[in-house]
Chain A
């Protein structure tokens, strides 16, 4: 039994008698459909009479649109309509936090790939060819591409006349949001420091690269509204942005979740949703839009590239005295979720360490680069790469073991964050590091099989020039929406007896994007209602919002909502039971009651009622909202505030072989240890950790959207934007800790993002160990290792 495991109960617990409850590795309810090809993804939808939509996008990153001529496109056989900004019926802009993004370019494009016009035609190729015949006259404008060009005197202001809530305290109109955090006295601490390390870091622009392209089907309805079948992360926030754009009341914009082929943050913002609905309402025909991979690279936001400057000071005995840092995130042309990413980057900027004196500044720019927003790790990834490199550098200056140095400064429960927030649940940072370090090492290199060596089947080395390195890292991620956001989820649960058997119907708007929310939701309902049969209603906007499938929050939030609603359903069962059968048994009055196997059972295990008799032909049908504890905004100058709901920790050890002559890296093993509070589905938990770890590996050595030569995207394809294949990905052993967070349902801790943080710096630390190079930028490329 590992530390923190729930002890064996001394009396029956709710759900203990039912199979497939929480804590079991229950198989996915959609597994068979996905394995047989029958699962309907948003790109698989088909409707009689449907048209295909296509987008025309800007070839320039910053230009005035002088004129648009759609005549030739419209005249093509098979083309049903062409729409531009001039054809928009109502609200013209949308956005997650700030409505600054035009549905179709409004006289000006601000990034390469911005949507300018849309076409509906009877064949996708006809639509593409028609889009190519739209004549747009552009006049290029000067570019804003980095902090210097964004804030230079006379710099073009990308969004003049801002009225958003961040505008007032942004130091420049091209700065979306800036968050300082100040605590303690950095100047005094610096004077006491025995060792000071100051370095600059850079993180490239990473793409989520989900496999299922942006797609959906919009069907015009008889009531003048529209039904949209869509792959998204948050149905209700899509609807809230769509309804004003379509000029329709919210109840006439009905969204149903279609099969989602991964998300990782890239489906938080609208992509083709408004375009498909506009074309459908205009033509009166169902319209399907499916991006190809090229368009997908332009169709969603990316992870913010960042420049980070860090200074750490420590005493000779290995205590961190202060951290000063400045993080500049490039938000690109539109705000998306940049303000929240800034809040995360700032508040998590020093990592899972206790440091009394901090001077932190994080900001996001508006620029003419591609818009950046949510990606797994959300602002914490960039910071983790820098602060973990710093920890290694300070440890080296002090002559300390890098793990030992981290452990001396590791935060624990009760520690105070730079924001002043006390960490009030387990924070086993030192223990996670101990576990990854204690693992046996993979066998030494020098394998006879070239497939095990850097370069692999390219047969570039038989071991000569290959050096092994080992690196460690640990990270901290917040769970749930922060900074005072009213974050809630909704669940409707209907319990009834069908064919003599109790059946629970669970209805939420939770976007299943692959993470396995649907699995744990059925497990929770089985646990709380003690029934074997749980049916999930399709996710749609006919039930209250579930919030976003992001911020590692859905098991906590929608899982919490289902638990909360099931508890209310259970109480209603007991109330009805007491009303009808209370006189039959004293247990109805004074015992603690459970639902198990379709019966009402006392805590002593005695059956005192039958669900079929209590319910008869009546259903219990309850919809309730669930909220996590409230948080506070960070103070705009000091950054102080109880800003986050929960923290999540993961540590990695990377072992790499580097061909130092060719600059090729083979990650040999990437071991992880993570505290998950309570593993509701252990198999899914490990899958999340391995998947997140691999995305971190991708950022370390492969993945970057290259933007150059006029802020143009140079590599929008899987030929040129490389994500890890099964050959690039090593064995990923995972250790899971379960230290309960008493504030969370079942003590669980959001799992999905933390492993994406520490993976990257662990791999780079291992490459540094193998090469002796400083490597301040990710992804690390061969030329960085060979100085070519």
Chain B
């Protein structure tokens, strides 16, 4: 079958998809986006977490066909997604708009990258404005030592970014609850907590 959907603001099409294939398989093996990870493929570890129409989901548990016509954000598009959100939030301080509509955020991300849709996501030289290469959560994970082997990192980043989107100043208990579906075997989670606290503080300061 053919599946057509939007990934990181760009229209994508996958052909000859077998009905049993997961969204994760299509992203990784058919669309060349292996950033979402395949640690358990049974919805227990969260390392394949992506946003599906704004909702964090385990891509391994979503049949590829279910993504038809919908919007997906993966770790590869997180920086643009977060950048578009922050610009929208900044605009919102002058114009009163709904800040929780994530579909709008992806559309905004699209406008920054669509000018050169054939290049990789991180080379947006043709765009009029260079978006930052890293979302605040990505930079915070690097700065705090929250990345060791890094296999859980993409899913944690998506989940942590989604937490900060709805809860800009989370308590530790909020962070633990939001990230409880994401297993990490290396860090013992302490640095991950540090990273989310740091990203929250930086984002709040920047406003």
Contacts and interface: CB of A to CB of B under 8 A. Distances in A.
B30 to A, nearest CB: 10
- Contact residues of A: prevailing secondary structure: loop
B151 interface: yes
Interface string A16-44: 00000000010110111011111111011
B149 A212 contact: yes
Given A36-B75, A452-B173, A691-B187, A28 B142 contact: yes
A27 B154 CA distance: 18
B189 A729 contact: yes
Interface in B171-207: 173, 175-177, 179-193
Interface string A678-695: 000001101100111111
B134 A36 contact: yes
B39 A726 contact: no
A725 interface: yes
B177 A211 contact: no
Interface stretch (B42-50, B88-96, B110-118): B42-50
B40 A718 contact: yes
B38 A213 contact: yes
Interface string B16-56: 00101100000011001111111111101101000000000
Contact of B187 (A208, A690, A718): A690
For this complex, into which size category does the number of interface residues on chain B fall?
A: 35 or more
Contacts of B189: 690, 694, 726, 729
Most chain B beta carbons < 10 A, residue from A514, A515, A695: A514
Contact of B34 (A28, A35, A44, A457): A44
B143 interface: yes
A664 interface: no
Contacts, number: 186
B146 to A, nearest CB: 8
A46 B185 contact: no
Given A211-B45, A732-B188, A41 B151 contact: yes
B76 interface: yes
Contacts of A683: 144-145, 191
B183 A44 contact: no
Given A293-B42, A725-B180, A27 B142 contact: yes
B44 to A, nearest CB: 4
B122 interface: yes
A32 B142 contact: yes
A669 to B, nearest CB: 11
Contacts of B173: 449, 451-452
B151 A35 contact: no
A262 B185 contact: yes
A684 B151 contact: no
Contact of A125 (B20, B47, B153, B182): B20
A693 B188 contact: yes
A261 B147 CA distance: 11
A691 B188 contact: yes
B187 A687 contact: yes
A259 B39 CA distance: 14
Interface residues of A, number: 62
B170 interface: no
B23 to A, nearest CB: 15
B84 to A, nearest CB: 16
A691 B186 contact: yes
Nearest to B75: A37
Contacts of A694: 187-189
Nearest to B177: A451
A758 to B, nearest CB: 14
B22 to A, nearest CB: 11
B35 A264 contact: no
A205 B35 CA distance: 32
Nearest to A449: B173
Contacts of B79: 36
B141 interface: yes
A31 B42 contact: no
A209 interface: yes
Interface string A535-570: 000000000000000000000000000000000000
A605 B191 CA distance: 39
Given A293-B42, A690-B188, A37 B154 contact: yes
Contacts of B180: 725-727
B133 interface: yes
A687 B194 CA distance: 12
B119 interface: no
A37 B137 CA distance: 13
Given A27-B143, A726-B182, 15 more contacts: A35-B157, A37-B33, A37-B76, A38-B35, A41-B151, A211-B40, A212-B151, A259-B150, A262-B148, A293-B39, A516-B148, A686-B190, A717-B42, A718-B44, A726-B192
Top 6 closest A-B pairs, CB basis?
Answer: A37-B35, A514-B149, A34-B150, A261-B151, A690-B188, A718-B44
18 contacts: A28-B145, A35-B134, A35-B142, A35-B153, A36-B35, A37-B74, A38-B35, A293-B40, A452-B173, A684-B145, A686-B191, A687-B145, A690-B188, A690-B191, A692-B188, A693-B188, A717-B42, A725-B182
Interface of B: 18, 20-21, 28-29, 32-42, 44-45, 47, 74-76, 78-79, 122, 133-134, 138-139, 141-145, 147-154, 157, 173, 175-177, 179-193
